[in-house]
């Protein structure tokens, strides 16, 4: 098991998110061919059953579609759909962790909001 994967979340989820990220930041456009299972296995050295599990979820949800004998492609409207999905999981994945850490450090809500605003200003 190697590559950019973390060991605290199932790898198949991280595989699907990697492809999702490519769609979200326009590296993979709608209608374009997505990387094949074998390509992903070769590059990341993760088990092909694991890769398939992640990819099949995206197919089931209509983000990717299969063309027989050709490969996997990005569906029309995939990006909008993903943005919607990611917004829904944003609280679970980021906000809760941030609040737990802030709690450990005894930070107030105001302090937290100030930090977010300040960071955002510095970045833009």
Partner 1 sequence: MQEHVEFHDVSLKIGRDTILEDINLTLEGGKTYGLLGRNGAGKTSLLSLLAAFRPASTGAIRLNGEKIFENPSAMQQICFSYDKDYSEETEKVKSLLKNLEFYRSHFDHEYADRLVERFNLPLNKAVSKLSTGMQSAFNVTIGLASRCPVTIFDESYLGMDAPTRDIFYQEILREQSEHPRIFILSTHLVSEMDHLFDDVIMIQNGRAVLHDDYETLMTKAFYVTGDGDAVERFSKPYRVLDRQQLGGTTSALIYTDAVDTPQKEAHEQGLDVHHVTLQDLFIHLTKEVTQDANS
| Candidate residues 23, 34, 46, 82; the one interacting with partner 1 per rule CB under 8 A | 46
Smallest distance, Å, CB 27 to partner 1?
23
Judged on CB neighbours under 10 Å (0-12, 13-18, 19+), 19 is: buried
103 binds partner 1 (CB under 8 A): no
Q: How many residues does the chain have?
A: 124
Q: Does residue number 53 form part of the binding site for partner 1 (CB under 8 A)? A: yes
Using alpha carbons, select from 2, 9, 16 the residue that is nearest to residue 85. Answer: 16
Phi-psi map region of 26: left, alpha, beta (phi>0 left; psi -120 to 50 alpha): left
Pick 15 or 78: Cβ nearer partner 1: 15
Interaction between residue 41 and partner 1 (CB under 8 A) = yes
26 touches partner 1 (CB under 8 A): no
**Residues interacting with partner 1, by CB under 8 A?**
1, 7-8, 10-11, 38, 41-42, 44-50, 53
């Amino acid at each position: 098991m190697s590559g950019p994967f973390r060991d605290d979340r199932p790898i198949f989820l991280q595989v699907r998110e990697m492809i999702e990220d490519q769609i979200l930041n326009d590296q993979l456009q709608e209608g374009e061919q997505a990387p094949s299972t074998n390509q992903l296995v070769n590059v990341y050295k993760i088990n092909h059953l694991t890769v398939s599990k992640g990819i099949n979820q995206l197919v089931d949800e209509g983000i990717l579609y299969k063309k027989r004998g050709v490969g996997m492609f990005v569906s029309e409207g995939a990006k909008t759909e993903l943005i919607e999905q990611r917004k829904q999981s944003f609280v679970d994945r980021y906000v809760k962790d941030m609040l737990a850490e802030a709690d450990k450090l005894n930070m107030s809500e105001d302090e937290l909001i100030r930090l977010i605003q300040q960071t955002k200003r510095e970045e833009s």
